Structure 1
Amino acid sequence: MGVVQKIGALALSVAFLLGTAACGSGSAESANQIHIGRTEVFDGFTLDQELLNEDYAISTAVMEPLIRVGNEGKELQPGIASSWQYNDDDTQLTININPDAKFSNGKAVTANDVAFSLAVWKSGPNYGANYSSIASSTVKDDHTIVFNLSQPDSSIPAFLSYAVAGVIPKDYGGKSAKAFYQNPVGAGPFKVESWSTDGDIVLNKNPYYYKKGYPKADRVINSYTPDSNSVALQLKAGQIDLVNQLDSITAKLLDRSYIAKVPAHQTPTLVLNTQNAFLANKSVRQAIAYAIDYESLQKYGFYGFGELPNSSLPPNLEGSPKTTGGYYRQNIAKAKQLLKGVDIPASITLTYPTSGISAAVVQIIQSDLKKVGINVELKSVDGGTWSSSLSAGTFDMSTFATNANSPDLIDAPSYVVSTKMLYAQMDTSHLADLISSYKESTDTNAKQQIVQQIDDYLSDEVPYVVLNANKVIVAKQPDIKGLEVQPWSCYYYDTLSH
């Protein structure tokens, strides 16, 4: 999500968080208020422009998608769509809309709103391809819409749970798109009071929310700060209730009772730009993968919050693959053999965000590659510059992280393809064909076999090296209830309470 993810779905944080207002759970005034700290600058509410995991949780709280994800990210559940079903040949998907679903202005959600929303999703440059198999839609009545598919696509329900597939009013409620997204109206549990990209986002309870008894909180404040040194103190002092995507250095200093249960899932990577003549050589990319000391990265770079990588794809989804023959482990002799006869440049640059990855990670990579004769220059840049360089392909090597945004196994591969092999600028036609075959299949075993082929292909081609299987760290006050963190670090705001 996914993905930049996703940056999936989906990315390494470009900043760390601090709650800036003293609105902690100890105050009577805030007894029914949740104060969240965020580690990333908010991309705004514009659907399809939401590229970071933090964006997804905020956006979903306001513009809820048709389908929800439940059971710790393992299944799809009814939401605004009370049910959905394919026809016999899987060429139509009928969506039944919950008759209780209303926008925060009190107007009912209708099939015409969903039809308009679909057109918005499909037009998105980042995620629109996920909905390309929906050729058209047919409104049957106010609460029934049929998606007509150009080909069978079993993954559509999962993509309908994405934050970028938020349901919005037809014709933006009579506003321009720009004006609408400045003050969006959705059918989620909260409505917007105020927001800024690098400040507080204040959300108030939507009195028309379709889930009776929810949201549990009347108000949510989500605050951003670039200062990571005071995070633990703010959390311990009760000035924030939740901390999203806490960096592993700070998390190491916290009592483990603060750390929420999240399975290892996010995959921090070293992306290898194949527009660079040196990195265009597959043997070079494989040599780099063999040069890296994954055990040291796990211990000293990620401080034990995660697992050694076993796949090119995120782990801990139902049916997640493991690379046939095993994923890369350090083998200096093999790396040197692969580089034999290769013209190695004087140096190659590794770009990484100033606040988003432990300096130890890039230093370990630099040291490991030097052992095989590759001199790496480290280039630390601000988050915006780093993100832009990925999108434009103006880097040699870069750090990145990805994850799924739904329980569907094709989620992460779809993002890899949509980003030219996770920004490595490689041809994606082979993977695109495999993804198409996956979507056309309804057989679980056949789908898992296709994803295994995808994983093996990525591990052999090495457009990126998976450095670790991370646990995205979410920390919370002991009194917070209703927190269910999905493997990709998202959670729903409507269930949170003290």
Structure 2
Amino acid sequence: MQSGTAERYLDLYHRFAGETSIGTPIEVSLEDLADVLFCTTRNVKLILRKMEEEGLIAWQPGRGRGNRSRLVFQSERDVMLLDLARRMAQRGEYKLAFELIHKHGIGSQVKERFTDWLNHHFGYRAEVEDGKRLVDTLRMPVHYPIVTLDPGDVYFSFDAHIIRQVFDGLVALDTATGRVVPALAHAWECNSDATVWQFHLRKGVHFHNGHPLTVEDVLFTLERLRADMPHSWVLRSVLTIKAVGPRTIRIELAKPNRIFHRFMCSTTASIVPKEAVLKEGEAFWQSPVGTGPFMITEWNEGRLMLAANPSYYLGRAHLDGVEIAFMPPEHGVSSRKCWEKLLVDHNSQEQHSDMDLDSVEVLSQGCTLITWNMGRLGPQQSPLFRKAIDLLIDRKRMIEELGEERMYPAHGFRPDEHTPYRSVRYNPAEADMLLRAAGYDGTPITLFAGSSYREDTAWIQARCAEHGIPVNIRIQDGIDYKRRRNVKEADCVLYNIVLDQDEVCEVESYEQQGSFLKEHLHPEFFEWSKQQIDLALAAKTDDERRIQLGQIEERLREESYVLFLIHRKNNAAYQPGLKGITVSPLGWIDFKDVWVQSAGQVALGGGG
């Protein structure tokens, strides 16, 4: 059955069937049908003939003036609706599938049955392609779209994760060891005061379009980033960037930066192909090519399709493909349920619901926080008011009541070894005293947040109301929120920050264009923080650098410019046969090293 015919059948069923059972004739006219199908009566006859041929209806045309025609529905609506939604999903049209169910399936169990089917549709599966070879595919759902795959314009963790699948930087950070390791550059060095850095490119690396990586691509990428991009902070003190050989880049800095190679590990420093970007312009970013382990084969509002790069210089991925399905939040299934089903091996014989799953869980290197907008008039201009809000939020109670991935109260940006045992001050009586001392008169405050923080903002709104503080919640549309539009209208913003590369991401949060911290802090504080950062980057030891950056965080906390709220966890459950499962600091599964040990294979002792 063709999808177009099925959708027209459902439209007619929705309009005319009512409570009528299958097989009962319904009197209609061709004009009535034409109104529903938005076509001429001539086309209606063609559509009805097609439906009859497919056994969907019986049609008895009226004979003579005044005799109405009779239409008999012969296919169950819910069966057809579920089948059509499944076929749409298999084509990647998830949004259309949910819209169809929302339109035609109200009062039925179709959405629940479709949800159950999706939970088996997502996950790992070995499938036959072209009738002759097995293709290992991982399908996973997400509940928000990708905003951009331009490394120079990326703000959020999921976008950054996909960029890392498609692009590479000169170097990379091994999160397990904390060491910088080779990527597109096989070697690098700096002078004694860390003001001159050189990177030496690998030979034999190609972009996904077949063009070889050259020193010109690196020069173009860095100069483009440096010119006028939100992430120009990565090259904050660069004087010159030039090629000093066919495969060597030299970067001269105005100030010492002993962790500049870590800056080059940043997602935003991913290398892009000069020729393709210049030739295609904005169109390039609709289907970009990099040098990474996966290539983009399709990207639309329904899904992103990735295929393994067969000639990846660090070794081909074990998976042949990854499908990222963009689930509409207003119609979709719960992200938690999808995540638990995500890494099920559908080729395994162990398919019963109570099967034992392995799991991997990591504490996110960041936190949920609130920043106060010091560029806007309002109660937040008073340090006593800001401190009062800090004291009336009981983080422990918030975690207990909201649960899910919320793990520990946050004392600062990142968790440490003391985090599980540390409590954050909660003193509502002192908060009330500070509100009186601040002369607070009940003026409402406006709190902005993304849609994924509805529960957090509602909880905070209720706690503030208990102390006579009205909070207006503004949930931003996904794209507007991620583009930082209307940020000046907020008295405060609740969001999550991920410091996936330690000190570098901490610098990013202070200096990136559009960062809430940068936008909200007093200019005086911003200039002071830049001086602290310069001292930290010139520091000769990790401890000294940590102290300098820690002083910025301490002042943010002590003066309550930032309210650190919650540390969250990232986790994945999966069947034991799936191997190579790691959750990156960005909170997503690293696709490249996922592989499957089938039931017939036996792992040796000590093997992985």
Aligned partners of 1:441 and 1:141: how far apart in 2? 30
Provide the residue aligned with 1:81 in structure 2.
185
C-alpha separation in 2, matches of 1:433 and 1:459:
19
Matched, 1:307 2:408: yes
Give CA deviations for 1:427-449 in whole Å, capped at 9, x if unaligned: 31111111111112222221121
Identify the residue that residue 465 of structure 1 maps to in structure 2.
563
CA–CA distance in 2 between the matches of 1:50 and 1:460? 30
The counterpart of 1:138, out of the listed 242, 258, 276, is: 242
Alignment of structure 1 residues 384-403 onto 2, 5 Å: 384-387=479-482, 392-403=487-498
Is the deviation greater in 333-342 or in 371-380?
Answer: 371-380
SS of match in other structure, 2:188 = strand
Amino acid at match of 1:204: A
Distance (whole Å) between structure 1 residues aligned to residue 582 and residue 508 of structure 2? 25
| Aligned with residue 489 of structure 1, among 572, 578, 587 | 587
Quick check: 1:434 aligned with 2:532? yes
The equivalent of 1:282 in structure 2 is 383
Check the 8 A contact 1:321/1:455 in 2, yes or no.
no
Q: Which has the larger radius of gyration?
A: 2
Give the superposition deviation at 1:20. Answer: 8.7
Q: Deviations over 1:274-330 (max 9, x none)?
A: 21321011121111101101111111224364212122x2224xxx998xxx88421
Shift of residue 180 of structure 1?
Answer: 2.2
State the 1:254 CA deviation.
11
Q: Residue 57 of structure 1 aligns with which residue?
A: 161
Q: Which amino acid aligns with 1:335?
A: A
Pair 422,303 (structure 1): closer, same or farther in 2 beyond 3 Å: farther
Q: Which runs of 5+ in 2 are unaligned?
A: 1-114, 129-133, 347-352, 597-608
Q: Is the 8 A contact 2:378 2:491 kept in 1?
A: no
TM-score by length of 2: 0.69
- Quick one: which of 291, 297, 310 aligns to 2:398? 297
Which of 211, 225, 246 is the aligned partner of 1:121? 225
Match of 1:224 among 319, 323, 326: 326
3-state SS, counterpart of residue 381 of structure 2: coil
1:203 corresponds to which residue?
306
Three-state SS of the structure 1 residue aligned to 2:152 is coil
Aligned with 1:445 (options 543, 546, 551)? 543
Aligned partners of 2:157 and 2:498 also within 8 Å: no
Code of the aligned partner of 1:301: L
- Structure 1 counterpart of 2:121: 22
Q: Once the 2 structures are TM-superposed, how far is the Cα of residue 405 of structure 1 from its aligned partner?
A: 3.0
Alignment of 1:41-440 (within 5 A): 41-72=145-176, 74-172=178-276, 175-196=279-300, 198-212=301-315, 214-227=316-329, 229-231=333-335, 234=338, 257=357, 259-274=359-374, 275-303=376-404, 305-311=406-412, 313-316=413-416, 328-341=424-437, 342-354=439-451, 356-359=452-455, 361-387=456-482, 392-406=487-501, 408-418=502-512, 419=515, 421=517, 423-427=519-523, 428-440=526-538
| Whole-Å separation in 1 of the counterparts to 2:409 and 2:340 | 31
Aligned with 2:186: secondary structure? strand
User: Separation in 2 of the partners of 1:254 and 1:405?
Assistant: 34
Change (3 A) 1:174 1:291: closer
Residue 134 of structure 1 aligns to which amino acid in structure 2?
Answer: V
Is 1:327–1:459's contact at 8 Å kept on the other side of the alignment? no
> 1:310–1:40: structure 2 CA closer, same or farther, 3 Å change rule?
same
Contact 1:25 1:241 in 2 (8 A): yes
Asked if the contact 2:343/2:574 (under 8 Å) is kept, the reply is no
**CA distance in 2: counterparts of 1:454 and 1:302, whole angstroms:** 30
**Partner letter of residue 456 of structure 1?**
E
**Partner Cα distance (1:100, 1:46) in 2:** 24
Counterpart AA for 1:166: S
The structure with more helix, counted as a fraction of residues: 2
Report how far residue 93 of structure 1 moved.
0.8
1:387 Cα deviation from its structure 2 partner: 3.7
Supply the distance in 1 between the matched residues of 2:510 and 2:494 (Cα, whole angstroms).
15
Corresponding residue of 1:6: none
Alpha carbons 2:364, 2:585 under 8 Å: kept: yes
Q: Mark the CA change 1:127 to 1:405 in structure 2 (over 3 Å): closer, same or farther.
A: farther
If asked which structure has higher relative contact order (CA below 8 Å, sep 6+), I would say 1
2: distance between equivalents of 1:237 and 1:340? 51
Change (3 A) 1:182 1:352: closer
Q: Deviations over 1:351-405 (max 9, x none)?
A: 3333x0252x223312322343312233444323444566632112332110113
1-structure distance, mates of 2:228, 2:121: 38
CA distance in 2, matches of 1:21, 1:134: 51
Give the CA deviation at 1:148.
1.2
1:69–1:118 Cα change, 3 Å:
same
> Contact conserved, 2:258 with 2:538, CA < 8 A, in 1?
yes
The amino acid across from 2:414 in the alignment is: P
Name the SS of the counterpart of 2:325 in structure 1.
strand
Matched residue, 2:17: none
CA distance in 1, matches of 2:173, 2:549: 21
How far apart, CA to CA, are the structure 1 residues paired with 2:144 and 2:366?
16
Shift in CA distance, 178/88, structure 1 to aligned 2, threshold 3 Å = same
TM superposition shift of 1:86: 1.0
| Distance of 1:254 and 1:266 partners within structure 2 | 33
**Letter of the 2:492 counterpart:** M
Q: Closer, same or farther in 2 for the Cα pair 1:383/1:304, shift >3 Å?
A: closer
Deviation at 1:465, TM superposition (A): 0.9
Q: Percent identity?
A: 20
Distance in 1 separating the partners of 2:433 and 2:500: 39
CA–CA separation in structure 1 for the residues paired with 2:242 and 2:464 = 56
Q: CA RMSD in A?
A: 3.0
For the 8 Å contact 2:358–2:573, the answer to whether it is kept is yes
Distance 1:68 1:239, change over 3 A: closer
SS at match of 1:279: helix
TM-score of the superposed pair, with normalisation by structure 1: 0.83
CA contact (8 A) 1:48 1:124 kept: no
Asked whether the 8 Å contact 2:201–2:248 carries over to 1, the reply is yes
Q: In structure 2, how many angstroms separate the alpha carbons of the residues matched to 1:91 and 1:369?
A: 49
